[in-house]
Structure 1
């Protein structure tokens, strides 16, 4: 089994190396409007520090964003009213629609070379957790599962991860939150700190893309429903602590909305982006023909399997996954717009959580790997 773990580890490292080689050739001016808008947020942070939360188009007095739009041959580069991903607000100002987190991470790296380091950093986190899962797998079937999923998770950092700069940090958060979810429910069910750390991570993910708020839905259901009948202090503390941690994590977005839209709960998205649910067979068909369908099918299948076969904490992880999948799939499948990454975060959070839960579940005696030859006799003598 050791050789199999080494083989899977090398496969993951090979995919990581290939990804990094591919990322190193990426062009930050590939013509995608979202890209230059995230880069504008990064530029504001580098120029004004925390004042970069204010994304008023009037602050482009150094013509940075106009230059970026000219670079991608955008026709209305001179007039803020025609700028992409900017929303009109009272007072004749135009502000970025996106939350500030992705731009803040890009701002950590030198201008002109920001995207590649962001993706490489996120890929290293994902790869590290994938390798950890592989080398801690206690049985042959779990090694096969951890190795196959680890390779998939690393590969996804390029496809469909490249579709939006917000996907890379989201994938890293999903991996870390999945590990902590499994640790909490399998190893530390009565502890408060894992719950709050999960809430903080999921709150932080909202700063990358607002729909990431739905990633916490299953946790709120899992923690909130028991409050109806339970009077245990730890039950209340975990539910309350999780909610507070989520709010703390998403505080930058709430502050940015207050600055740009006039209220922490006011959206910076325009009416064209805030649309009512409308189930469409066309959109559903796009999901069916996309890689996302495979991921969701895998997530649903894994969740159903653990609900049926899992025990204790593993089954509880599956219950969290059920709530999360239901809320997220209802939202995105009824959203009248398709993109190649919308349901990737919930699929990966689910798979990371279930994968680590299976790895952490105590191995039954009948499933444990055989002891090395002679070890049983040595153990008997030591007794």
Structure 2
């Protein structure tokens, strides 16, 4: 039997889509598929000139790919949504170079589920150890201070923790579907005051003459994804330097050709859904929905809430999906039924002094984060207070 060999790959293009999908296809998280990550690279969205150098780690047995870790060398911390600027500041005070750093995630998408992908029948624990050792070697050789694996799959997390990786918790939001049959069932979970508020917010959109319609998968005309890029670009421009515009127009063209089965658009329109006033882009799996981007040509009260939260929730209920992850940030999500959740990232620092200082701080930071989540969820406008922390 051929020996195992680790190789670093500077792009998805050098790896077979079929082999990649054989390893990670079972998870069915579109953000980690070969097509999604290749689209980010091929479109010029995630490339070295934007501060992202693909650096994927593969484990090979002869010509067979048996394990895979999507990784990137980063020259900044944008597009991660795990805010480590305090780490960068500490490194500067200690005379250490914080960038570049090695990051494992689906770029610009705070999506839980990162893991090392291992071929069926292989020793997952053993291959995880091998890959973590190779990452340590690579970081020493390249003089990198850190490797950071973000939004990790909770079921895989113990394998890396057993190898000494440090866990840092951050807060995200999640709406969970206990088996609702309709949007009215969703409303019944709120107290009477918030039910009235949500109905009022949706009514304001109707009174503006707008209907919100979903377009899913092959129902999406290519032109609608081109229009979605326009909404996305316009929305980012409103925030100026803080606009977080990561995706190029070419990515939306690529999505129209290769990614439509995983996409859902919500079009707010007067008459023809293909002539939208506003639109949001979501990504789906067989279990759940992720909210990603939105934009609007008109300033209409509560339109954002309907297009980005209520219409996707209503669609998810109709599809029997179990959860909806609306994306990073936004305390306003809480009042729409999105429960605060802890999300773990795993970290390794090569400098012993830096490692010691951060590990001393992490237990307090993680405990404080869990207290904040408990306090936030205690204030949610639900009829019942039992709010289990669900895992995606």
Where on the TM-score scale, by shorter chain, does this alignment land: which range? under 0.3
* Largest Rg, 1 or 2: 1
Q: Normalised by the size of structure 2, how large is the TM-score?
A: 0.23
Q: Higher helix fraction: Structure 1 or Structure 2?
A: 1
